[in-house]
Every structure is written in C-alpha cells, then in structure tokens.
C-alpha cells in the first residue's frame, strides 16, 4: 500500500520538496525579490470562481485543440525549464515521454540537460525550442538550426530576460549546479554554467530589441512565438512585427518582482491580439479549473512549469505522467461540471471575480 498516493499537483509539490536538496528546491521553486509576483500568479487564480451552467447535454468533453496547425490532446503544454536533470537523471527525456503519452507538446529550454536529438527520438508529440538571445548571436542561431534539424516545430523567444532576475534564495544559498547537471545543447568549451546567475549576467544580450523578430525569421522558417509578454501594447507590437504566437508569462515570478500575475495580464492581451495569433499563458497553473479560467479569458492553451519537475522528482517519467493525467482529469471535470463541451466554448461569462483586485 502506498503511504501517500498523490492526488493533486499540490500533493506532488509536497512530496517533491521532502525528497530534494533544499538549495535545489529553492532554485526550482523560488522567484525574484520578495516573490510577490510568484504569489500573484497563484492568487489571481484563487480570486476567480466558475459560473456553472447545467443540463448542457454535453457528455464527455472534448479536450483537444489545435495550435499552429497541430492537434494537442488538451490545451496544455509543458513550459520551458532549465535542467530537468536536477529533478531526475533522465531529465527532459522523461518529460518528453510523459507529455507525449498524453498527446501534449513540450517547450524545450535552451538550458535543457539532455540533447535535442535524444528528445526528438523520444517524442510522440510536438517539440518547440525555447531560446534566449546570447550576446554571441551565433550561439542562439546554432541552437535553432540544430533543433530544427532534429524536427522541432517552433521557436519560442523568451523576452522577459534581458538580465536574470534577482533570485534571493539562490543568492543566499550561493546556488551552483550539482556535478553532472549541464546544458547539453550549448558549447562546453570555455563556458562556466555552474552558477545560472553569473552565467546569465555575462552571456545573455541585455540590449535585445524588436529587430530580433526579423533576425529570427532570417535564420529559420519555423514559427516564432514571444514568451514573457504581459501588456496589450507589446502584444500588438509583436503581432505587427510578424510573430506567430504569444506566451503571456512573467517567467513564473522569477524576473520582475512586482509584475502582474499572469491571469490578471491575460485579458488585455487577448483583447488586443486574440483570434489573430495563438495566445498561451503560463504561471501558477496548478488545477484543472485554472486551465479553464485561462481559456475563459481567451487563452488558446496554457503551459505548466514547476509541477512537472515535482512529478519527475517524485517518480521520474511516471511521476511527470501522473501530474499531467491529474491536471487533464481535473480539466475534464471542470468542463463537464460547468457545461463546457470544448476548449473553444470557454467564454469570459464562465468567470466571476470573488474578491476585488487591490489595484
Ligand atoms: C523556468 N522558466 C524558464 N523559462 C524560459 O523561457 N527558459 C528557461 O530556461 C526557464 N527555466 C526555468 C527553470 C525553472 C526551474 C523554472 C521553475 C522556470 C520559466 C517557465 O518557462 C515558466 O514561465 C514558469 O515556470 C511557469 O510558471 P509555473 O507553472 O512554474 O508557475
């Protein structure tokens, strides 16, 4: 008999924490500064409730959706996160297998701990590449070319990281990557990746501007999404610049502390560009009802971050698969119980804000 069978993503978080080195837990879990934005992501979902509609006659809901011409089994993907190998040795290979089994895509980080080719070999659902722009552009270009050759289907440029946020837990812990954890797709010669904070400061391009969009177009034919947009102004500008999609994100509260929770930022973005390009959201998605809330405010899909690492840490590929299954089961429940037959049916009228925002 299992002592404790995890039934929610929160259960997985607790189990993961109890088995993990505390500095590693802090690196995964932490945010920038006082972690107000980290908290705001969760709080925004806690502030909305769903208005149930009964007798819809819908039967089992159809969770499937189409993003950039590809079918996803549900409006959920895996957010790009550095070093899944921190959570379990198989790292991103296990993640890609778990997501593929559920028919969900994975956005693979620039700092993945396993190679693009291994991941492509394990994939049964779309893989996208997340990139940072390095001061040395050729490093970014090589990542894109290599991922494209491996069969990756889109490029997601993270635009909220001209420099790395001040992550106080890591500073206090003097966090360094454990032996054996390194970026499998970046050059090993002459680079020291052991402190993510130091590496980010010296290697990321702090002066990136909108000209990066045509540059990305010039180096690859893949669709380009921008991740880290939280305003209507930037969403409009991104679409004018020709991007193929937007990820509303504050990097899981790891960049600007004091930024809006992503659910609070979503409506202005979908009002501006929804229906023109796919709009995804990440940050604080922990329950099926959170997925439905984001869909109601116009997101085409969400990405899930930390809970997948929790699943990996608890039980490798099986843990990650269980985290995904729980979330999709909860989403199906939420859809049936609100009378929402498909993701496209989710509308703002599904939501009611139960406590006024402070702002
Ligand atoms: C991240 N995130 C991130 N984003 C990105 O574009 N490139 C990256 O390499 C990473 N690395 C990374 C590592 C870890 C440990 C975490 C927790 C997060 C941010 C990630 O893509 C996403 O925006 C948030 O994690 C989503 O929020 P939740 O679901 O974790 O609350």
* Global pTM value: 0.97
If you ran DSSP here, which 8-state letter would residue 76 be given? E
Position 183 pLDDT exceeds 70: yes
Cα of 153 from ligand 1 centre, angstroms = 20
pLDDT tens-digit series, residues 80-100: 999 999 999 999 999 999 999
**Ligand 1 pocket residue status of 110, Cβ below 6 Å:** yes
310 is catalytic: no
In this prediction, the answer to ipTM > 0.95 reads yes
* DSSP track, 213-232: HHHHHHH--S-EEEEEE-SH
Binding positions for FMN are 80-82, 109, 130, 158, 227, 249, 251, 282-286, 305-306
End-to-end alpha carbon distance in the chain: 48
% of the chain with per-residue pLDDT over 90: 94
- Ligand 1 mean position, distance from CA 19 (Å): 21
Q: Is 221 exposed, middle or buried (0-12, 13-18, 19+ CB in 10 A)?
A: exposed
Q: With a 6 A CB cut-off, is 86 part of the ligand 1 pocket?
A: no
Residues 6 or more apart from 118 whose CB is under 8 A from it?
Answer: 93, 184
Q: What is the mean pLDDT of residues 30-36?
A: 98
Question: Which atom of ligand 1 is least distant from the CA of 283?
Answer: 27
* Residues 92/112, Cβ–Cβ less than 8 Å: yes
Q: Is there an atom of ligand 1 within 6 Å of 140 CB?
A: no
Q: Which residues carry a binding-site annotation? A: 80-82, 109, 130, 132, 158, 167, 227, 249, 251, 254, 282-286, 305-306
pLDDT above 90: residue 190 = no
Between the CA of 341 and the centroid of ligand 1 the distance, in Å, is 30
Contact 150, 120 (CB under 8 A): yes
pLDDT digits (tens, 9 = 90+) for 196-232: 989 988 899 999 999 999 999 999 999 999 999 999 9
Q: Whose CA is nearest to atom 15 of ligand 1?
A: 28
């Amino acid at each position: 008999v299992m002592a404790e069978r995890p039934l929610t993503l929160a259960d997985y978080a607790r189990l993961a924490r109890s088995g993990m080195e505390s500095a590693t837990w802090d690196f995964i879990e932490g945010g920038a500064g006082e972690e107000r934005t980290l908290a705001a992501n969760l709080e925004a979902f806690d502030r909305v409730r769903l208005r149930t509609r009964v007798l819809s006659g819908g039967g089992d809901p159809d969770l499937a959706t189409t993003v950039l011409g590809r079918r996803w089994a549900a409006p959920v993907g895996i957010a790009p996160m550095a070093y899944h190998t921190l959570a379990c040795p198989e790292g991103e290979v296990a993640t890609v297998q778990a997501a593929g089994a559920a028919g969900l895509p994975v956005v693979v980080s620039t700092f993945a701990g396993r190679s693009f080719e291994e991941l492509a070999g394990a994939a049964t659902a779309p893989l996208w590449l997340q990139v940072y722009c390095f001061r040395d552009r050729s490093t970014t270009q090589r990542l894109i070319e290599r991922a494209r050759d491996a069969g990756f289907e889109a490029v997601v440029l993270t635009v909220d990281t001209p420099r790395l946020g001040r992550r106080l837990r890591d500073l206090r812990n003097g966090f360094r990557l454990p032996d054996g954890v390194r970026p499998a797709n970046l050059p090993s010669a002459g680079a020291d990746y052991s402190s993510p904070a130091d590496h980010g400061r010296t290697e990321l391009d702090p002066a990136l501007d909108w000209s990066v969009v045509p540059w990305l177009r010039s180096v690859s034919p893949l669709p380009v999404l921008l991740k880290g947009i939280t305003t209507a102004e930037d969403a409009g500008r991104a679409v004018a610049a020709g991007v193929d999609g937007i990820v509303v994100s504050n990097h899981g509260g790891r960049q600007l502390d004091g930024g809006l929770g992503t659910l609070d930022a979503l409506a202005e973005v979908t009002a501006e560009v929804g229906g023109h390009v796919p709009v995804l959201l990440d940050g604080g998605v922990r329950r099926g009802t959170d997925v439905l809330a984001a869909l109601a405010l116009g997101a085409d899909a969400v990405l899930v971050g930390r809970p997948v690492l929790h699943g990996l840490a608890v039980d490798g590929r099986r843990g990650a698969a269980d985290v995904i299954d729980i979330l999709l089961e909860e989403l199906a429940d939420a859809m049936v119980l609100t009378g929402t037959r498909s993701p496209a049916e989710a509308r703002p009228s599904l939501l009611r804000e139960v406590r006024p925002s402070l702002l």
